[in-house]
Every structure is written in structure tokens, then in C-alpha cells.
Chains A and B, each alone.
Chain A
Amino acid sequence: MNYVSISCRWIVDACLARPEVLIKYFLEMAIQHLPENILGHIKGYAEFDGGAVFASSPLIPPEVKLHQTGDYHGGKMFINVTMIFADQSHEILSQAMDLARQKTTARWHCDLKEISGDRRNGD
């Protein structure tokens, strides 16, 4: 079994969505653009001043679960997402990540500015 993982971080200065909505939507959009029934999972969190909302989902079947610490009272957010899947190409995961970013940006009128990206292959 060959694993591939990619990770990305973005900063969001202003957004119509609250962090729990934003991170859940992002993961759902990424899942929409991944092959069905693949082994592995996608996880991430939206961090804000005073807390964070964590989200994760497998793909068999997809089910995004959330866990929140602290309360959001506005301000910028940091979005962090990692995907780890077995026997997939780096390009497929990277494309799903990019499409999720585009759809999230369009849906919630927010600009996700990339801070850093790790698009390395697993072993």
C-alpha cells in the first residue's frame, strides 16, 4: 500500500462563514473531488483567536465530524488541512485541495491566502 499525503495552510482575513461552517464546507468540497471509497482520511482545523474547530472525515463513507474548543467572536482565521490516502496520485489529492479552496472562496466570499504548502508524497 502506497500512501500519499498533502497539507496546506491558509489565512482568511474576512469571511461570511463562521469557522465551523468554513472548515466543514472545505472538507466536503475536497471529498467531492476525490475518488469514492478510497482508504485514508482528510482532516483539518480552523484556528481563531481563542480557539479552533477541528474536522475530519474518512471516505468510506464520508462523514465530517467536528470538535470545537473556544468561541469565535470574529477576526481572522487560519485554515489547516491534511489529506492522507492510500494508492492515490499526488495530482489527484492536490487537485481536490485546489478545487476545495476555489469553491470555498466562491461560496463564502473569502480569500484563502496560502501560507505554506507541503505537497510531498508519503511512503
Chain B
Amino acid sequence: MVSDHGVKIIAVYGFLGSGKTTVMLQLARAIVAGGRKAALIVNEAGDVPVDGKLLEVSGLPVKEIFAGCICCTIVGDFIETLRVLRQDPTLAYILIEPSGMADAPNLFTSLEKHTFLEVIKLVILDGPRLPLLLKAAGTLIHKQVEVAGIILLNKIDALTSESRGEVQTLLANLHPHVSIHEVSALEGIPQEIVHQVLQ
């Protein structure tokens, strides 16, 4: 978890539209509010850096990686960006956001192998769409959850009590052994969860 000068690498990943950037923004703001320094690496598909722009206008330093969506093509860019950022001894955290269509688990394996750093893996799951995503992209979602250190079940404000129970059951069957936090990132992630992620 801790690298050469103590910088922590936190990966915020999940399927397209799960709320990764909203979570990144709140984590980064909490880091800055605590008097520490963070850098963000965002991998986006397409030429228009929407997520990167949102983070940038919020006053956060962002490095963008636009190369494709298959991890073998972007892993080199991530490694090089991490190498450059790690030269800053004042940096406390590096937050990385792979594209929502990336094979994030394979990316993390490659990053850890090449950088000798442990990546803290925070997966964001879209609560209301989880049942559908498990049917349509089950293999990817299973892999994402399997490697997660912390799970944020997002958009719970959009779940009825009945659908919330269904999603909780699905999730418990997927990965019952790590912390699962139910949040509405748009309404704000509770401070105790933010602190747990940043520990």
C-alpha cells in the first residue's frame, strides 16, 4: 500500500456511468482539505476529456490518458505517468480512474507488477443498474468485484426498498468478504467512508 516515499495509489473503477468521477472528486477534495497533496490520472475514451475537465475545473491536477480502452494499450501510459508523479516527494495520493470499459483488474495486475506498488482498489457499482449489468456484462462486473478492496454501492437514493434488497442479495453473493458501503455519491459520501478509503 505504501511506496517509496509513502504515496498511496487508489484506483476508482467501475462500469460506464457508475459515478467514478463524482467519487474521485470527493476523495480528492477530502485529501486537499486535510492539507495533503493529490494527483489524478484519468483514462477516457474519445477525444473530449469530459471527466478530466470536471476534475480540472474543480482545481485538481489531472493527467489524462486517451489511448484506447483495452488495458494492454494503456498500461504503458499509466506506468509512465505514475513514474513521473512519484518523483514529487510532496505527493500523498495518486488517484487513478480507468475508463468505464477498461478491464481494470488486468490493468491493476500489470501496474503492481511493473511499479511494485500496491493499488488500493475501490469499485463503484451502479445500484439501480446492477441486476441488468450482471446479465449483460456479468463477466466484467464479476472480475471488477472480485479484486475490489472496498465496494461502493452507488445511487442508493434511486433504489426502492424492494430493489435495494434485491441488489444487496446479488452483491452479497458476488463478494461477501470486503467492506460494502451504500452511498449516493451525488448527495455526498459520508466522511467515515472517505476516511476509510484514504487510510
Give A contacts to B, CB under 8 Å.
1, 3, 5-9, 39-41, 43-45, 47, 51-52, 54, 56-58, 60, 65, 67, 69-70, 80-82, 84, 86, 116, 118, 120, 122-123
Contact = CB atoms under 8 A, between A and B. Distances in A.
Contacts of B129: 58, 60
Nearest to B140: A1
Interface residues of B, number: 26
Given A7-B47, A60-B129, 14 more contacts: A3-B69, A5-B45, A39-B16, A40-B16, A43-B51, A51-B57, A54-B54, A58-B129, A80-B50, A82-B45, A84-B100, A86-B137, A122-B101, A123-B69
Interface in B120-142: 126, 129, 132-133, 136-137, 140
A52 to B, nearest CB: 6
Interface in B5-56: 16-17, 44-48, 50-51, 53-54
Contacts, number: 85
Shortest beta-carbon contacts, A-B, top 4: A7-B46, A118-B47, A41-B17, A7-B48
Given A69-B57, A84-B100, A60 B132 contact: yes
Contacts of B16: 39-41, 58, 84
Contacts of A44: 48, 50
A123 B68 contact: yes
A67 B54 contact: yes
Interface of B: 16-17, 44-48, 50-51, 53-54, 57-58, 68-70, 100-101, 126, 129, 132-133, 136-137, 140, 186
A118 B46 contact: yes
A6 B17 CA distance: 16
* Most interface-central of A5, A51, A86 (chain B CB within 10 A): A5
Nearest to A54: B54
Contacts of A120: 46
7 contacts: A5-B69, A44-B48, A56-B50, A57-B17, A58-B126, A60-B129, A82-B45
A80 B68 contact: no
Nearest to B57: A69
A39 B50 contact: no
Contacts of A47: 53
